[in-house]
């Protein structure tokens, strides 16, 4: 019987599992050997006492670095334990009238950094999801409180009245009009009628873009940080003579929560919580799709794919969300900055999916309202309303909405948008509404950290909820990746600060997690929280062995020592594993090189600064901030990225440490080489020379940027000069302390 067939399948990636476990076992033996070697050598050094204090200190720092790296490596093994992949069978879903409703939440904050036409493409593509229109409700949160966005949204509604019927009629998959018209376009139809219609729609689209741009040109305010809440249910305006087919349209709502300059608004999490409340009143769908404003739906099938999990009676009672991968439309084949964040989406989430499910990634996920407003499941007619008000605030209407049994979630009836209801929504979007409630603390999206996604997902998993990772063949969503070095380092610094805030709090996954979720899941969460601390070993290992190399002082076993092979093994094993993962995800060896390079660059910069910011935020010396990434295209920058050239026009705080370390490595390798030629004894400092050599090879683009490039993306002369001076100072200080 069709009904009894499963809606989805979960299979273990057997070959990966075997390779992974073999790798983990062998590599951990080698790590134990390293720890044995370091401990015994250190004991010997301290016993004989014939080494200088600075040397012992350096030795201890190198050992400590190796321990930190081993710890992060150990946490990482949890991802490798049991990778799984999933298959869905949407054709087995119940009839349309039995499908649950979906609310789509889209957040935007700034029409300049997030161009309105792009945001509206996301809105339109969400409206075009392959789902019954009366069960789809699209909400846009505008943190910019911008008349430009509101105006653009009205225009988007107008255009969608042409676009949706067209997509439905011809089965268009690329439901973002911009993407559809800029690429060859799908819909394998070549009839005359289709061509004519397509042309007509294209004209409508151009009109739409023109109007949106005009709204921006004529606007007197672009962003308002001081305004009451504004909610508008977008409706079709009076007949304008361009009436298309009477089409069923999803509900479209504009929400701009109240903003006051002096009051904290909790960034995106705050915006999402307002949407959660307002939508609770207007549509109250049991499922929610959250999207960043640049993440348009690239496959209308994602809603039904997600339902294959949410409607599976076996997994649904504990299933909080289905996470889809982040894919990006602007990734070049030669992705020099690893803008696509490959490791997360082609490796780690499969591994977490085999435990309790992937982390929440902030966008491209279908979550249940019940998981976010946890108590709703248990709300009965007799539940103490006073209690609920303490958690959810004073709105009776909202509290009523929590009880699924009372509320139907389908609205078509215009009377539902009575002015009283809209007024109540406005009150739900006001700043004062959350005062003395548990919003952002107990239920809902959490405010504790700027990586609200990671933290909210973590607490859901702690409460016993699960998640699912589904990565279909056709990218379900496509966003705009940061393909600009400076922008991306700022973004990563923000992420790091958010992660470190969690890592050093009472919610640290290794303290808060173990009693609440499987240990492997804790390890995954801990790996994400702690990997930024990799900046400590990276800084140490790119300075200390080099200082010693320049003095001809060995820190590693010499070639004839049996432990030499342990170091060789560790280096080869981890890099070959990395290469294997890149290759099996369909990438080339080049990807490995890019990722190594970016790991080094991020370690010296964002992981370092982000950790400092996180610690300062924790002790109250700094306020958290969230500057949305720039999603507007910059032709010059895009050109450099596409041609595989680094664009070093980034703040000096990022460029200078990077250059300093590279120059330091070049100089110490040169000095070391001269020493080797003199003494003819290379065996003792081989590993140190190799470390420098490896860093230099991997960081070749930086060398090119300092010495060889003449274009505008090169490293500025002033930065090179300053870096050379800094490298000189470090080297001289190093030789001073090591000699005396």
Ligand X SMILES: O=c1ccn([C@@H]2O[C@H](COP(=O)(O)OP(=O)(O)O[C@H]3O[C@H](CO)[C@@H](O)[C@H](O)[C@H]3O)[C@@H](O)[C@H]2O)c(=O)[nH]1
Give the count of beta carbons closer than 10 Å to the beta carbon of residue 146: 25
Where along the sequence are the contacts to Mn ion (CB under 5 A)?
629
Q: Residue 30 or 450: which CB sits closer to Mn ion?
A: 450
The Cα–Cα gap between 250 and 124 comes to 10
Is the sign of the CA dihedral 436, 441, 446, 447 positive or negative?
positive
Q: Which helix (H) or strand (E) holds 323?
A: strand 319-323
Q: Residue 325 or 628: which CB sits closer to ligand X?
A: 628
Angle (CA) 146-148-258 rounded to 5° is 15
Q: Closest approach of Cβ 629 to Mn ion, in Å?
A: 5
Q: Residue 257 or 369: which CB sits closer to ligand X?
A: 257
Q: Which does 628 bind (CB under 5 to 8 A by kind): Mn ion, ligand X, none?
A: ligand X
Q: Residue 438 or 629: which CB sits closer to Mn ion?
A: 629
Q: Closest approach of Cβ 362 to ligand X, in Å?
A: 2
The answer to whether 150 touches 142, Cβ cutoff 8 Å, is yes
Coil, strand or helix at 467? strand
The Cα–Cα gap between 175 and 611 comes to 40
Contacts for 294 with CB less than 8 Å, ≥ 6 apart: 114, 118, 119, 122, 479, 480, 631
122-151 residues near ligand X, rule: CB under 6 A: 141, 143
358-377 residues near ligand X, rule: CB under 6 A: 362-363
Q: Closest approach of Cβ 191 to ligand X, in Å?
A: 38
Q: Residue 497 or 640: which CB sits closer to ligand X?
A: 497
Q: Residue 18 or 627: which CB sits closer to ligand X?
A: 627
Which residue from 129, 293, 490, 663 is in contact with ligand X, where contact means CB under 6 A?
293
The DSSP secondary structure of 583-614, one letter per residue, reads HHTT--HHHHHHHHHHHHHHHHTHHHHHHHHH
487 touches ligand X (CB under 6 A): no
Q: Closest approach of Cβ 566 to Mn ion, in Å?
A: 42
For the record, the structure tokens of 570 come out as: 């560790």
Residue 335 annotated in active site: no
Q: Closest approach of Cβ 22 to ligand X, in Å?
A: 34
The Cα–Cα gap between 182 and 531 comes to 39
Please give the distance of CA 502 from its chain centroid, rounded to a whole number.
Answer: 16
- Give how many residues touch ligand X by CB under 6 A: 23
The Cα–Cα gap between 266 and 245 comes to 42
DSSP-derived secondary structure letter, 684: T
647 touches ligand X (CB under 6 A): no
Q: Which does 77 bind (CB under 5 to 8 A by kind): ligand X, Mn ion, none?
A: none
Q: Which of 103, 292, 294, 453 is catalytic?
A: 453
Q: Residue 628 or 713: which CB sits closer to ligand X?
A: 628
Coil, strand or helix at 366? strand
For the record, the structure tokens of 674 come out as: 């001269």
Q: Residue 110 or 204: which CB sits closer to ligand X?
A: 110
Choose the stretch contacting ligand X; rule: CB under 6 A; options: 12-20, 73-81, 266-274, 727-735. 266-274
Among 370, 356, 312, 375, CA closest to 466:
356
Q: Residue 140 or 303: which CB sits closer to ligand X?
A: 140
109 touches ligand X (CB under 6 A): yes
Q: Which does 109 bind (CB under 5 to 8 A by kind): Mn ion, ligand X, none?
A: ligand X
Please give the distance of CA 682 from its chain centroid, rounded to a whole number.
Answer: 45
Choose the stretch contacting ligand X; rule: CB under 6 A; options: 70-78, 311-319, 444-452, 560-568. 444-452
- Lookup result for tokens 């070749």: 700
The Cα–Cα gap between 140 and 254 comes to 5
Q: Closest approach of Cβ 364 to ligand X, in Å?
A: 8
DSSP-derived secondary structure letter, 381: T
**What is the contact mask toward ligand X in residues 409 to 428, using x (rule: CB under 6 A)?**
--------------------
Choose the stretch contacting ligand X; rule: CB under 6 A; options: 59-67, 105-113, 424-432, 557-565. 105-113
Q: Residue 107 or 411: which CB sits closer to ligand X?
A: 107
Which residue from 348, 491, 496, 603 is in contact with ligand X, where contact means CB under 6 A?
491
The answer to whether 478 touches 471, Cβ cutoff 8 Å, is no
Q: Closest approach of Cβ 243 to Mn ion, in Å?
A: 37
Q: Which does 450 bind (CB under 5 to 8 A by kind): ligand X, Mn ion, none?
A: ligand X
The answer to whether 127 touches 250, Cβ cutoff 8 Å, is yes
Which residue from 166, 328, 495, 609 is in contact with ligand X, where contact means CB under 6 A?
495
**What is the contact mask toward ligand X in residues 498 to 517, using x (rule: CB under 6 A)?**
x-------------------
The answer to whether 83 touches 538, Cβ cutoff 8 Å, is no
Q: Closest approach of Cβ 591 to ligand X, in Å?
A: 21
Q: Closest approach of Cβ 290 to ligand X, in Å?
A: 8
Coil, strand or helix at 136? strand
448 touches ligand X (CB under 6 A): no
For the record, the structure tokens of 333 come out as: 């084949």
Work out the burial of residue 682: count CB atoms within 10 Å of its CB; fewer than 13 is exposed, 13-18 middle, 19 or more buried: middle
Which residue from 130, 292, 338, 370 is in contact with ligand X, where contact means CB under 6 A?
292
The answer to whether 215 touches 155, Cβ cutoff 8 Å, is yes
Which residue from 453, 487, 501, 595 is in contact with ligand X, where contact means CB under 6 A?
453
Contacts for 293 with CB less than 8 Å, ≥ 6 apart: 106, 107, 108, 109, 114, 118, 119, 122, 140, 631
Residue 382 annotated in active site: no
152 touches ligand X (CB under 6 A): no
Q: Closest approach of Cβ 370 to ligand X, in Å?
A: 21
Q: Which does 114 bind (CB under 5 to 8 A by kind): Mn ion, ligand X, none?
A: ligand X
Q: Residue 456 or 660: which CB sits closer to ligand X?
A: 456
107 touches ligand X (CB under 6 A): yes
Q: Closest approach of Cβ 143 to ligand X, in Å?
A: 4
108 touches ligand X (CB under 6 A): yes
Q: What is the 3-state secondary structure of 240-303?
A: CCCCCCCCCCCEEEEEECCECCCCCCCHHHHHHHHHHHHHHHHCCCCEEEEEECCCEECCCCHH
For the record, the structure tokens of 244 come out as: 């298309």
For the record, the structure tokens of 216 come out as: 């921006």
451 touches ligand X (CB under 6 A): yes
Which residue from 66, 103, 114, 299 is in contact with ligand X, where contact means CB under 6 A?
114
Which residue from 626, 682, 690, 693 is in contact with ligand X, where contact means CB under 6 A?
626
Among 108, 144, 109, 111, CA closest to 126:
108
By DSSP bridging, strand 327-328 and strand 466-469 are unpaired
118 touches ligand X (CB under 6 A): no
Q: Residue 59 or 366: which CB sits closer to ligand X?
A: 366
Work out the burial of residue 389: count CB atoms within 10 Å of its CB; fewer than 13 is exposed, 13-18 middle, 19 or more buried: middle
What is the Cα Rg of the chain in Å?
A: 28
Q: Residue 573 or 629: which CB sits closer to Mn ion?
A: 629
For the record, the structure tokens of 524 come out as: 């995954």
Q: Closest approach of Cβ 138 to ligand X, in Å?
A: 14
Q: Which helix (H) or strand (E) holds 642?
A: helix 635-642
Q: Closest approach of Cβ 359 to Mn ion, in Å?
A: 16
**Rounded to a whole number, what is the distance in angstroms from the first to the last CA of the chain?**
84
Q: Which of 143, 294, 353, 647 is catalytic?
A: 143
Instruction: Name the residues annotated as catalytic.
Output: 143, 453
Residues that bind ligand X (CB under 6 A): 107-109, 114, 141, 143, 267-268, 271, 292-293, 362-363, 450-453, 491, 495, 498, 626, 628-629
């Amino acid at each position: 019987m069709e009904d009894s067939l499963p809606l989805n399948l979960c299979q273990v990636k057997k070959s990966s599992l075997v390779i992974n476990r073999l790798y983990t076992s062998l590599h951990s033996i080698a790590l134990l050997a390293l720890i044995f070697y370091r401990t015994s050598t250190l004991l010997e050094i301290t016993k004989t006492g014939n080494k200088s204090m600075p040397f012992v200190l350096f030795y201890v720092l190198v050992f400590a670095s190796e321990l930190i790296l081993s710890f992060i490596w150990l946490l990482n093994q949890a991802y490798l334990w049991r990778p799984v992949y999933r298959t869905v069978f949407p054709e087995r879903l119940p009839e349309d009238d039995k499908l649950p409703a979906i609310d789509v939440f889209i957040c935007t904050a700034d029409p300049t950094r997030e161009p309105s036409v792009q945001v509206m493409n996301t809105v339109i593509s969400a409206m075009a999801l392959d789902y019954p229109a009366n069960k789809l409700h699209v909400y846009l949160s505008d943190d910019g409180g911008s008349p430009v966005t509101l105006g653009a949204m009205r225009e988007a509604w107008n255009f969608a009245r042409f676009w949706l019927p067209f997509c439905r009629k011809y089965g268009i998959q690329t439901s973002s009009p911009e993407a559809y018209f800029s690429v060859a376009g799908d819909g394998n139809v070549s009839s005359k009628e289709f061509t004519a219609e397509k042309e007509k729609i294209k004209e409508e689209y151009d009109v739409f873009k023109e109007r949106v741009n005009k709204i921006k040109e004529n606007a007197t305010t672009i962003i308002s940080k001081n305004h009451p809440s504004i909610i508008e249910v977008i409706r079709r305006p009076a007949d304008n003579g361009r009436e298309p087919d009477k089409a069923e349209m999803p509900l479209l709502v504009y929400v701009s929560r109240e903003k006051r300059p002096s009051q904290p608004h909790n960034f995106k999490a705050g915006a999402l919580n307002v949407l959660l409340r307002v939508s609770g009143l207007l549509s109250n769908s049991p499922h929610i799709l959250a999207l960043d404003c640049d993440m348009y739906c690239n496959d209308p099938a994602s809603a039904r794919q997600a339902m294959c999990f949410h409607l599976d009676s076996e997994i649904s009672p504990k299933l909080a969300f289905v996470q889809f991968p982040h894919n990006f439309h602007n990734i070049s084949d030669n992705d020099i900055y690893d803008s696509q964040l490959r490791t997360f989406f082609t490796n780690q989430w499969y591994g977490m999916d085999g435990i309790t499910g992937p982390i929440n990634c902030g966008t491209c996920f279908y979550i249940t309202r019940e998981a976010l407003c946890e108590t709703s499941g248990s709300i009965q007619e007799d539940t103490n309303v006073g209690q609920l008000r303490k958690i959810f605030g004073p709105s009776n209407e909202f509290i009523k909405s929590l009880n699924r049994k009372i509320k139907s979630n389908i609205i078509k009836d215009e009377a539902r948008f009575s002015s009283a209801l809209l007024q109540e929504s406005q009150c739900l979007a006001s700043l004062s509404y959350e005062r003395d409630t548990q919003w952002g603390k107990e239920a809902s999206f959490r405010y504790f950290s700027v990586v609200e996604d990671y933290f909210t997902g973590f607490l859901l998993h702690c409460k016993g909820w699960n998640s699912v990772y589904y990565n279909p063949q056709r990218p379900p969503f496509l966003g705009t990746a940061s393909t600009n070095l400076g922008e991306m380092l700022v973004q990563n610094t923000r992420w790091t600060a958010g992660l470190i805030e969690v890592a050093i709090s009472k919610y640290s996954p290794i303290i808060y997690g173990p009693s609440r979720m499987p240990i492997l899941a804790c390890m995954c969460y801990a790996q994400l929280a702690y990997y930024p601390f990799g900046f400590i070993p990276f800084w140490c290992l790119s300075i200390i062995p080099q200082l010693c190399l320049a003095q001809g002082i060995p820190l590693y076993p010499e070639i004839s020592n049996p432990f030499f092979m342990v170091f060789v093994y560790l280096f080869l094993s981890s890099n070959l594993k990395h290469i294997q993962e890149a290759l099996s995800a369909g990438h080339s060896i080049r990807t490995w090189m890019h990722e190594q390079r970016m790991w080094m660059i991020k370690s010296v910069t964002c992981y370092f600064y982000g950790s400092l910011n996180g610690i300062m935020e924790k002790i109250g010396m700094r306020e958290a901030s969230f500057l949305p990434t720039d999603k507007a295209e910059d032709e010059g920058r895009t050109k450099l990225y596409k041609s595989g050239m680094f664009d070093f026009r980034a703040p000096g705080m990022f460029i200078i440490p990077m250059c300093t370390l590279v120059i330091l490595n070049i100089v110490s390798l040169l000095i070391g080489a001269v020493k080797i030629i003199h003494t003819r004894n290379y065996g003792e400092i081989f590993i140190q020379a190799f470390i420098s050599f490896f860093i230099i090879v991997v960081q070749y683009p930086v060398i090119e940027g300092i010495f060889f490039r003449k274009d505008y993306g090169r490293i500025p002369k002033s930065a090179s000069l300053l870096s050379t001076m800094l490298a000189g100072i470090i080297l001289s200080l190093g030789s001073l302390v090591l000699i005396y």
